Chain A
Amino acid sequence: MRRRLLSSFRSRMITASLAPIILMGAAATFNLAVSSANLSRVANLFSLDLFVEEALTSVDAVVANLAVYIDTKNSDALRACMHHSKLLSAKAGVLAGGLSYEEDAIIERNLAVLLRRLIEESEAAIRAKRGRNIPEYEAKYQDVRMLASFIRDRADALSLERLGLNLDAFEALAEESGRAATLLGAMLASAIAFAAAIVLSYSLKLTEPLDALAAAAGRISTGDFSGGPLAAPSDDEIGQTARAFNVMQASIAAYIDEIRNKAAVESSLMEERLKNLEMQGHLRSAELKALQSRINPHFLFNTLNAGIQLATVEDADRTRVFLERLAGLMRYSFRDLDAPVALRDELACLRDYAYLMTIRFPESIDFDISAEPGAEAAALPKMIIQPLVENSIRHGFSDKPLGGAVRVRAGLEGGDLVVSVEDNGSGIAPGRAAEIVAAADAGTELGSAEGGLGMANVISRLRLFAGRRDVIEFMDAGPGARVVVRVPFKEAF
């Protein structure tokens, strides 16, 4: 608490402002006290002069009244003489000091001795007068007169000595007074400069942090937290305000960061949700299209099974195999489109499709389907490779009835599953690949996709599965076309 009080800006400012005032006050008080003491001493010197002057008056009165008494034996003169003798006795008592080395003190002692002698001799003269001893009282009266003249001489000497002392004192006083006035002026100027500098310094100390505080508050109000914390080295009110401001700034920044993070998370969730919705949309679209192609599947499977049994009964093995492969292909195509499948299943479906196409167009197309070890376990969306092969057959070999070849290769490359479908057909028309990708980007489907899933749909599903855009590449195989699918390797369940 005490430390707080001392470090308080207010108390420091008050102390700094009061310090020169107190110093000057002390100096002024000291000067006043010394001046008063000096005045008192000077007055004392004058009072001593008055004291001696009164003594001289009494001496004259003793001499005069003694003369009157000796001449006339006047009682009033005697009473006056005795009265002044008494006064002189008292004054002699005051003047009689020890034997000092100071000249004025020695003369005062001289005066005391002479006054005492004057009183003794005047009393002796009075006694002689009463005893009618004329020579005695005449001699004593002369002694009194001589002593009175000695007293006057000594009083003059004392006055001269004191005048000298007073002159010395006055000279010292005059000299030192001038010096004191100069010093007082210098002290005043110093105190004014000191106080002004202190007040200015403290006002700067006060306003500069406040300016910084105001600037920081303005910056923060615009959302700019780049200024960093305010400097708060002192423990005064300003320092405490700055520290509190820094805490507030940090709290606001943290709060805003938290809100941003939440917004980012929510945005990410929304994006995820949108992706899911888009995926679901594509799936629904694929399913719709698949459903459109399904004509009473139970009836179809029953019919195909009946055909298989018939072929078995009639020993028509090729027909039976044909129907079995067709039924497998159809069963695979009717599976749920939402769940990814293993590449081996996709390739099995493709092999069924290739067998059927070989039966339909004997010696027209040669299929070569293979996968590297480990690649068949990779997951990928269902019905991806078959549409690519179907497109090769439909568009690549439309004007090539014989000698067609389709080669499908699957492998792992840099953490990706890479499946390439290559044919030796007529290749992809210029601009067609870009149209396909643009349709996929726009979420639309190109025409001539009847009887199968469209390429744009394939690309969109691949993108959703891979979580990136570069999932397919169309290349010229010279002759023919080559389509490469590249998705991250994920092992299928």
Chain B
Amino acid sequence: MRRFLKVVIVISGVALVVTLAASIAVASRMRDGIRSPDGRQGGQALFHILAVVPSSDAERYYSRAVEAMTRAARKRDAVLQTLEYDQGDAPSAIARQLRLAAELEPDGVVVSAPLDPLVTEAVDALSERGVPVVALETDLPGSERAAFIGTNPYSVGVLAAQAVAEDFPGGADVALVLSRDYADGSARGATIAAGFVYGARDSSGVRLAMTRTAREGPSASEAIVRELLAEHASIDVAVFIGARDSEGAARALIEYDRVGELAIIGFDDDPALLELVHLGVVAASIARSPERSGEVAVEAIMTLAKGGRVSAYIDPGLTVIRRRDGER
């Protein structure tokens, strides 16, 4: 009996102490879970950077770029605040965000918006207030933006042509499908096409047979794929300059059970697209680097905020992703 009681005392004593310690730990976690405004962590920033960018799903280009900018800003004692707009928003809504940005008295603004007079005017207003503006990925020619950090569309075309030539050494007819982002009134779409033609000049038989722009809407890429399969059987390769369009086209091929009948060259390195590359549905993808772009944008803004000078055009570079072990 004594022995049994001793065992009970030891076990229950240990259990009591353990549960007590665990209770204290849980209570502490509960306390930490409710953060009071007085208990804000992370210290104080010296610079305030605003990013006016389109909203983006996680792992997509702008989401990754914002994350990279946040990290880069933090490294430079700056805080990055995003003022997002929806992809389909009118230029006036984007311009309003830029006016709000101007009222918030930031040290710099990173903007990625379609070329529009309202946008340009808002960028100019910012610049007049002494706020440096850097355009990210979509250039705003004619505005007072201090620099443009983004993909050189000509390089996109060249790389796409080289990717097609590698996959089709005997030649191929290519359809170039531009995303709606490139239907912004700028010459970017034409520059991509020019780059493609230049890139294909030494490849025997690689020919830009047609160009399309994916219209607004969720089934735009599917419609183009269906058109190419039904009406343009001679097209061997479709080059989609747009991540979402690339993924949509690949999934349409799978759905129609026509994988292999039309080769697809995609754009960007979203996880879903990467998976399709690895599955062999997408032959290759021309990938920008949102991380690099974001970091370069913040670096440029910080330089400008401190009174420095930066190059007006900064190209963060491109890579080609292929099926072979995710080779870039």
Q: Are A and B interaction partners?
A: yes
Binding site for B on A (CB under 8 A): 20, 23, 26-27, 30-31, 34, 37-38, 41-42, 44-45, 48, 98-106, 110, 113-114, 117, 146-147, 150, 153-154, 165, 168-169, 172-173, 176-177, 179-180, 183-184, 186-187, 189-191, 193-194, 197-198, 200-201, 204
Q: Is the CB of B45 within 8 A of A101?
A: yes
Known: A31-B23, A183-B19, A190-B12. A200 touches B41 (CB 8 A): no
Q: Is the CB of A98 within 8 A of B33?
A: no
Chain A residues near B323 (CB, 8 Å)? none
Judged by a CB distance under 8 angstroms, whether B16 is at the interface is yes
Q: Which of B1-9, B222-230, B275-283, B303-311 lies at the interface? A: B1-9
Min CB gap A43→B, angstroms: 10
Min CB gap B1→A, angstroms: 7
Q: How many angstroms between the C-alpha atoms of A104 and B43 in the bound complex?
A: 14
Q: Is the CB of B2 within 8 A of A204?
A: yes
Known: A105-B37, A194-B16, A200-B5. A172 touches B29 (CB 8 A): yes
Q: Is the CB of B103 within 8 A of A147?
A: yes
Chain B residues near A98 (CB, 8 Å)? 44
Judged by a CB distance under 8 angstroms, whether B24 is at the interface is yes
Q: Is the CB of A197 within 8 A of B26?
A: no
Q: How many A-B residue pairs have CB under 8 A?
A: 136
Q: How many angstroms between the C-alpha atoms of A34 and B29 in the bound complex?
A: 10
Given A34-B28, A150-B103, 5 extra CB contacts under 8 A = A99-B46, A154-B100, A176-B30, A193-B15, A197-B5
List 5 A-B pairs, minimum CB-CB distance, nearest first.
Answer: A172-B33, A193-B12, A194-B12, A190-B15, A187-B19
Chain B residues near A37 (CB, 8 Å)? 31
Chain B residues near A200 (CB, 8 Å)? 5
Known: A176-B26, A180-B26, A180-B30. A44 touches B36 (CB 8 A): yes
Q: Is the CB of B33 within 8 A of A169?
A: yes
Q: Is the CB of B5 within 8 A of A100?
A: no
Per a CB cutoff under 8 Å, which of B6, B24, B26, B45 touches A99? B45
Q: Is the CB of A113 within 8 A of B16?
A: no
> Number of contact residues on B: which range applies?
35 or more
Per a CB cutoff under 8 Å, which of B9, B40, B100 touches A105? B40
Known: A99-B44, A100-B44, A187-B19. A114 touches B104 (CB 8 A): yes
Chain A residues near B46 (CB, 8 Å)? 99
Q: Is the CB of B24 within 8 A of A204?
A: no
Tell me the interface secondary structure of chain A in the complex. helix
Residue of A nearest to B97 (CB): A153
Chain A residues near B208 (CB, 8 Å)? none
Q: Is the CB of A201 within 8 A of B42?
A: no
Q: Is the CB of A30 within 8 A of B43?
A: no
Min CB gap A57→B, angstroms: 21
Min CB gap B2→A, angstroms: 7
Residue of A nearest to B2 (CB): A204
Q: How many angstroms between the C-alpha atoms of A114 and B100 in the bound complex?
A: 9
Chain A residues near B13 (CB, 8 Å)? 190, 194
Chain A residues near B48 (CB, 8 Å)? 99, 106
Q: Is the CB of A102 within 8 A of B19?
A: no
Per a CB cutoff under 8 Å, which of A113, A154, A172 touches B30? A172
Judged by a CB distance under 8 angstroms, whether B74 is at the interface is yes
Q: How many angstroms between the C-alpha atoms of A44 and B79 in the bound complex?
A: 25
Residue of A nearest to B48 (CB): A99
Within 8 A of A (CB), among B54-107: 74, 79, 81, 99-100, 103-105
Judged by a CB distance under 8 angstroms, whether B35 is at the interface is yes
Q: How many angstroms between the C-alpha atoms of A190 and B13 in the bound complex?
A: 7
Residue of A nearest to B41 (CB): A102
Chain A residues near B16 (CB, 8 Å)? 20, 23, 187, 190-191, 194
